[in-house]
Amino acid sequence: MSAEITRTSTAEHYDSYVVQNYGRAPLTLVRGAGSKVWDDAGREYLDFTSGIAVSALGHCHPHWVSTVQRQAGELIHTSNLFRNPNQGELARRLVQRAGPGRVFFCNSGAEANEGLLKLARLHGMRKAGGVEGKCYKVICAEKAFHGRTFGGMSATPQEKIQGGFRPLVPGFAFGKLNDLQSFADLIDEDTAAIFIETIQGEGGVNPATPEFLRGLRKLCSEHNLLLLLDEVQCGIGRTGKFYAFEHADVRPDAIGMAKGLGGGFPIGAIWIGEGSADLFKPGSHGTTFGGTPLACAAALAVLDIIEREKLLEHVEAVSAAWHQRLLGLVGKYPQHLSGVRGLGFMVGLQMVDDAAGWVGKLRDAGLLVPMAGGNVVRLLPPLNATTAELEKAVMILDQVLGAST
């Protein structure tokens, strides 16, 4: 960082030059290592935001850093007019995890979901005997969040996200999460797909139950609909399985992923099962930056570290005890905290009052966490957070909740 950028100038630069579209904390972060980050005054924080479930290995994992550094000196970008070894290898390994099929690479969660929605259109056209624009409807869930593009927003039934941007993409309907009948009731002959987050993130950490997911699978198979799962936040090990749907033992037709996949480097991907992977033909979809040698090297390093350090096993092994400790806080502070939800390292604390105030107090006490819809404080530790770090977060929560009685 150049010497002439001072603490005050950063705040001023944001005030004067950066679009004011975020509710941003008054905090400038300059360095990270593992589960810790430091601000520009040298203060240390325990980072359970993980860049919103992106920095899955914490900050600056040595193997990730050396892999990215080496690749940056070798080859960074070539476009998809050519092959590169890293993209092929990453696709192979994601297929190994998800099942027979193919992978398309992009750059973000929203872009992955656009790919899924375009796939739904192509499936609908095939279902309608090649007639375009007839079978195009997609059923999503209330409280969903699928991103800020027009497709993603249209699948996200929240006024704070859609307001000001209408007209939206037509054809979306919304059932109630975990109410199979409400989804079944929305299916008609123009329906092409069902599209949900396996665990809703921004909507407040609301898991789809295994029975519900299996019910959707059955509905989709019966009605020739694609079952599309948004694993952008809950995927890549966050819940202790590589994909969150593995807890339910179902096989979707396609999956969107992004956040944790690059461990901090922007990369998104969709896996498409073998029955539908041929819907995209040469020329029918694409993106300039998708699957670069550098982005794929970063993601391969993430997969290597998850395997070598047995992080899925780690998350599974330590989660139950950690959740119990958090539930203990519900018993201790029922006036502030009314419940704990989630799976593995994707946890939502249901607060009685507005979560924003709590997020600020926790930050002041040294713990960085994001909030979610419906008064929820989220805890998203890196997958390699130690039991001592998980316990430290419980202690900070205890202290902050206790000081507010």
Ligand X SMILES: *Cc1c(COP(=O)(O)O)cnc(C)c1O
Residues 252-291 that bind ligand X (CB under 6 A): 258-259
Site string for ligand X, 199-218 (x = CB under 6 A): --xx----------------
The CA angle 328-309-303, to the nearest 5 degrees, is: 105
Ligand-binding annotation for 67, yes or no, is no
Site membership for ligand X, residue 196 (CB under 6 A): no
Site membership for ligand X, residue 39 (CB under 6 A): no
Q: Which residue is nearest to ligand X (CB)?
A: 109
Q: Which of 58, 147, 260, 264 touches ligand X by CB under 6 A? A: 147
Stretch touching ligand X by CB under 6 A, among 90-98, 109-117, 132-140, 302-310: 109-117
Site membership for ligand X, residue 56 (CB under 6 A): no
| Residues ≥6 apart with Cβ < 8 Å to 214 | 248, 249, 250
Question: Which residue's CB is nearer to ligand X, number 147 or number 207?
Answer: 147
Interface with ligand X: number of residues (CB under 6 A) = 15
Question: Which residue's CB is nearer to ligand X, number 373 or number 401?
Answer: 373
Ligand-binding annotation for 295, yes or no, is no
Stretch touching ligand X by CB under 6 A, among 108-116, 157-165, 270-278, 322-330: 108-116
Site membership for ligand X, residue 372 (CB under 6 A): no
Question: Which residue's CB is nearer to ligand X, number 240 or number 318?
Answer: 240
Report the candidate in 302, 343, 195, 180 with the shortest Cα–Cα distance to residue 256. 195
Site membership for ligand X, residue 197 (CB under 6 A): yes
Report the candidate in 256, 236, 9 with the shortest Cα–Cα distance to residue 112. 256
Ligand-binding annotation for 309, yes or no, is no
Stretch touching ligand X by CB under 6 A, among 5-13, 114-122, 195-203, 283-291: 195-203
Rg (CA), the chain: 21
Question: Which residue's CB is nearer to ligand X, number 271 or number 333?
Answer: 271
Q: How far is the CB of 402 from ligand X (least distance, A)?
A: 31
Q: Which residue positions form the known binding site?
A: 109-110, 145, 148, 230-233, 287-288
Given the rule CB under 6 A, which residues bind ligand X?
A: 108-110, 113, 145-147, 197, 201-202, 230, 232-233, 258-259
